[in-house]
Amino acid sequence: MTSALVSALSTGLAVWLWTGPDVATTRLSRLLRPLTARPDPYWRSLSGLLTRSSPGHRADTWRRASIELCQSLSAELSAGRTPGEALTRAVAAVDFPDPDAMRQVIAAARDGGDVPAALLSSAPPEGGEGLHRLATCWEVGTTVGAGMAALVDRVAQTQRAAQAHRQDVAAQLAGPRTTARMLAFLPALGLLMAAALNMRPLDFLLGSLPGLMCLFAGVALDACGLWWTNRMATRAQT
């Protein structure tokens, strides 16, 4: 009975660590953050741990924000605003994952600074392709004198097409990823079945040297399988 309880708790903990917090928890923490004048460092670190996001999700959020920025900038330019004013209003209207990173872009657009350099500096390593293209578009438009609105609209169309392609690939890879995760949890299910039959699998795995060797080898192979599957899926998406 004790072995079954320990196995069930281990399986539940593994599932919780793998899935992580949902979107509602992240949004709730963002809404409550301004209400606290001086948050405790302990609670700040705990909140950051609970609301962490994967690099792929963060890159996808940056890509969507870049598309919204280009669309908003194109609309502002079509309305007859100057490029600096249009970019300032467009950046302020978009919800970026890291708003502090875009402050230098607003300052450069408002004060007539080097906007392409600010965009390149604000772009994250992953998911910043749209900002890189917008920086090139801005440099071409200000140097050659081409129509800025048409260039920005073309950049937005290119980003939307690329985003649609990535979403299609992600949908096709959802099945293999789910299968890999299910196969990774099958050993835990085997432990539960063995414990239900009073075979005491944990006594063997934790109470003897061969059992410990089997446990470490199984965990290592399981982790390598998950890592390899995720690596192949990530490379297919990029």
pLDDT tens-place string over residues 17-35: 555 554 444 443 543 444 3
- Is residue 224 over pLDDT 60? yes
One domain, residues 62 and 160: yes
Domain boundary among 120, 144, 164: 164
Using CB atoms within 10 A of its CB, is residue 208 exposed (0-12), middle (13-18) or buried (19+)?
Answer: exposed
One domain, residues 179 and 118: no
Please tell me whether residue 30 adopts helix, strand or coil conformation.
helix
One domain, residues 160 and 206: no
What residue has token string 């502090």? Answer: 100
pLDDT band of 238, cuts 50, 70, 90: low
- Between 37-46, 52-61, 123-132, 154-163, the lowest mean confidence (pLDDT) is in 37-46
User: Is residue 210 assigned to a domain?
Assistant: yes
One domain, residues 108 and 172: no
| Mean per-residue pLDDT of the chain | 77
Do 3 and 202 contact (CB within 8 A), yes or no?
yes
One domain, residues 173 and 147: no
Determine the average pLDDT of the residues in 184-193: 87
Give the amino acid at 227: W
Residue 3: per-residue pLDDT:
55
Domain boundary among 142, 164, 186: 164
At a CB cut-off of 8 Å and minimum separation 6, what does 62 contact? 96, 97, 124, 126, 127, 128, 130, 131
User: Is residue 23 assigned to a domain?
Assistant: no
One domain, residues 113 and 91: yes
Residue 171 to residues 14, 113, 167, 168, 189: CA-CA distances in angstroms? 24, 42, 6, 5, 27
User: Is residue 119 assigned to a domain?
Assistant: yes
- Between 47-56, 98-107, 185-194, 218-227, the lowest mean confidence (pLDDT) is in 47-56
Residue 213: per-residue pLDDT:
92
Nearest to 153 by CA among 61, 90, 227, 233: 90
User: Is residue 4 assigned to a domain?
Assistant: no
User: Is residue 19 assigned to a domain?
Assistant: no
DSSP annotation of 100 reads G
One domain, residues 158 and 183: no
Domain boundary among 138, 164, 190: 164
Domain span holding position 83? 55-164
Rounded to whole angstroms, the Cα distance separating 147 from 125 reads 29
One domain, residues 108 and 129: yes
Rounded to whole angstroms, the Cα distance separating 233 from 169 reads 9
Total domains, the chain: 2
**Per-residue pLDDT tens for 61-97?**
888 999 999 989 888 888 888 888 888 888 888 888 8
User: Is residue 46 assigned to a domain?
Assistant: no
Q: What is the percentage of the chain residues whose pLDDT exceeds 90?
A: 2
pLDDT band of 216, cuts 50, 70, 90: very high
One domain, residues 86 and 160: yes
- Between 48-52, 173-177, 216-220, the lowest mean confidence (pLDDT) is in 48-52
Do 37 and 222 contact (CB within 8 A), yes or no?
no
One domain, residues 157 and 134: yes
Q: What is the percentage of the chain residues whose pLDDT exceeds 70?
A: 75
Do 173 and 108 contact (CB within 8 A), yes or no?
no
User: Is residue 110 assigned to a domain?
Assistant: yes
| Selected residue with higher pLDDT from 222 and 41 | 222
Write the DSSP assignment of 195-222 as a string of letters. HHTT--HHHHHHHSHHHHHHHHHHHHHH
One domain, residues 69 and 137: yes
Please give the angle made by the CA atoms of 125, 140 and 66, to the nearest 5 degrees: 35
Give the amino acid at 88: T
User: Is residue 28 assigned to a domain?
Assistant: no
One domain, residues 87 and 184: no
* Structure tokens belonging to residue 57: 């999700």
Do 105 and 79 contact (CB within 8 A), yes or no?
no
